[in-house]
Amino acid sequence: MRTILLIALLLMGGISIHAQIVLEGLAGNKQAHYINYVEKDLDSLAKWNLFNLNRFTVNYKDKALNTVSIEGQLTYQFKPWIGLSAGGGFYGELFVPTIGLSLSHTNKRADLFLQMYPTIGITKALIIPSVLGIIGYTPKISKGWGLSSQIIFSVDPLEASQIVRIGADYKNKIQFGIGVDLLQNFENGNLNINSGPFMRFNF
């Protein structure tokens, strides 16, 4: 686990210069959940874009239940809303290379955004379709303050995950409120719920 964390931090340090960086922590009732994601345009025309999402959970009672997820996508944009993406995900000891699309939308007020990556992954001679996405809505209620809501979601043939955050926003720099993590296993029907306060920093 320590080696994986070090690799993730090194990757973050290498790609995060002049990028949008988000750091978040949730103190859940079952486990702590740490999230970092980075979005960076690699050229002046915003044709090439890099997206990196890192997630780590620390279970309070059983270290064997700790998880790590590192996902990255390199995208070439055909249009502002659609592009071709290639990358992969690292989950503990498993790496899954992927290829697919990048779909994005931001409204005129720039307070609603959607980023989705429908991809196909290949592992152990299996082709696995999946979708990773982020939806955020931050309407303003005053010059400095606003509301903040965000969902990070992923779906594949085995499970679905929703990371829901609702709270307040201060100058688009700090968000805080209540968060819920949902993990649904399609094979056994189990639904794991982890909830608690969260805080997020945008750089």
Contacts of 53 (CB under 8 A, 6+ apart): 35, 36, 37, 69, 70, 71, 72, 132, 152
Mean pLDDT by 10 residues, the chain (203 residues): 47 53 97 95 92 96 94 95 95 90 94 96 88 96 96 95 98 97 95 98 94
pLDDT confidence of residue 114: 96
- Domain range for 163 is 2-202
Mean pLDDT (the chain) is 90
Residue 54's domain is classified under what CATH number? Answer: 2.40.160
Q: What is the largest CA-CA distance in the chain?
A: 53
pLDDT tens digits for range 105-118: 999 999 999 999 99
Task: Tell me what pLDDT residue 185 has.
Answer: 95
Q: What is the pLDDT of residues 127-139, one digit of tens each?
A: 999 999 999 999 9
Q: Which pLDDT does position 124 carry in this prediction?
A: 80
Total domain count, the chain = 1
